[in-house]
Amino acid sequence: WVLARALELLEDLPEPRRRELTEHIDLADDEPARWEEVSHRLHLPFHDGVISQFDGYGDLAELDWADYRERYGDIRRLDRILEAEGDTVNRYKASKQADVLMLGYLFSPPELRSLVQRLGYRLDERTWTATVDHYLHRTSHGSTLSGLVHGWILARARRAAAWSFVQEALRGDIADLQGGTTGEGIHLGAMAGTLDLVQRGLTGLETRGGALRLDPVPLPELSSYGFAIRYHGHWGVRLRLRSGLLEIAVPDSDRSPIDIRLRDRAVPVRSGETARLVLPD
């Protein structure tokens, strides 16, 4: 992704600025071509039809998760439990927090499919869903960031299960879910991430291709919620979601209309206007 964005930047810059930049960072003439080559040839391992955490992951042993939950209850710190038994988590298909699934946090489904395709692989919806299920069942969530990332991923996968992870992320420090770590300091990354999850994750908000893209997740637990953003010079663009309805209010200014993209349509909203859009099922 980084290499592709760097190549796009060089392509988009006016020639004088591009030349100034390449001279400033001492960019060799053959480096962009090398970036292009590498961006198509990185290795992505798979096993059993899902993305592997690393080569050889598929050969690791399966952990009896039900047995450990029955014996210990809270197994967020599975690594410590196994160490106390003279074992190591490194022998098992087990993760403390999101690893492979960070891909679904960093990139929307269309972006992720495009990146994987650039590498010469195919990532259809079935493969990604299987990957999410595989790691969701093999993660102990021994980090306050884990619930946050999984909530985001499940929101993008259009699953109501996202809400339980959102709540866990919100309760991280309030309930000291990690069992004593809050006393050493609050989990500021997770706290900030919960706000970002509501603003971008649950709304499916992206800025891509000159448009403001939205693909909200229907969550019956929330009757409505809203917030304001700054976008393309428009200060205080207000978004509010209710059941099946998205409201977008653009403040009055001399700025160009905002191009809103939903899954099923494109809608321009001019300054001073409020659009009320019925969301697809």
Q: Which residues make Cβ contacts (< 8 Å) with residue 48, sequence separation at least 6? A: 58, 134
Q: Is the per-residue pLDDT at 147 higher than 90?
A: no
**50-85 pLDDT tens trace:** 999 999 999 999 999 999 999 998 898 899 999 999
**Class of the domain covering 49-201:** mainly alpha
**96-138 pLDDT tens trace:** 888 999 999 998 888 899 999 999 999 999 999 999 999 999 9
Map out the domains of the chain as residue ranges.
Answer: 1-39, 49-201, 208-278
**209-264 pLDDT tens trace:** 889 999 887 766 677 889 999 998 898 999 999 888 999 999 999 999 999 999 88
Once rounded to an integer, what is the mean pLDDT over residues 132-147? 88
Strand, helix or coil for residue 41: helix
The predicted pLDDT at position 54 comes to 95
How far is CA 109 from each of CA 203, 209, 264, rounded to the nearest angstrom? 14, 15, 16
Homologous superfamily, domain 208-278:
Maltose phosphorylase, domain 3 (2.60.420.10)
DSSP bridge pairs for 276: 247
Q: Is the per-residue pLDDT at 173 higher than 80?
A: no
The predicted pLDDT at position 155 comes to 81
The predicted pLDDT at position 14 comes to 96
Q: What's the chain's length in residues?
A: 281
Spell out a b/e string for 178-203, using b for 16 or more CB atoms within 10 Å of the CB, else e. Answer: beebbeeeebeebeebbeebbbbbbb
Nearest alpha carbon to residue 148 among 108, 101, 86, 203: 101
How far is CA 202 from each of CA 54, 153, 163, 174, rounded to the nearest angstrom? 30, 10, 9, 22
Mean pLDDT of the residues in the chain: 89
Query: What token pair was written down for 22?
Result: 């390449």
Once rounded to an integer, what is the mean pLDDT over residues 188-209? 84
**11-35 pLDDT tens trace:** 999 999 999 999 999 999 999 999 9
Q: Is the per-residue pLDDT at 178 higher than 70?
A: no
pLDDT category of residue 180 using cuts at 50, 70 and 90: low
Residue 100 half-sphere exposure, CB side, CA atoms within 13 Å?
A: 26
* Higher-scoring residue by pLDDT: 279, 48: 48
The predicted pLDDT at position 196 comes to 86
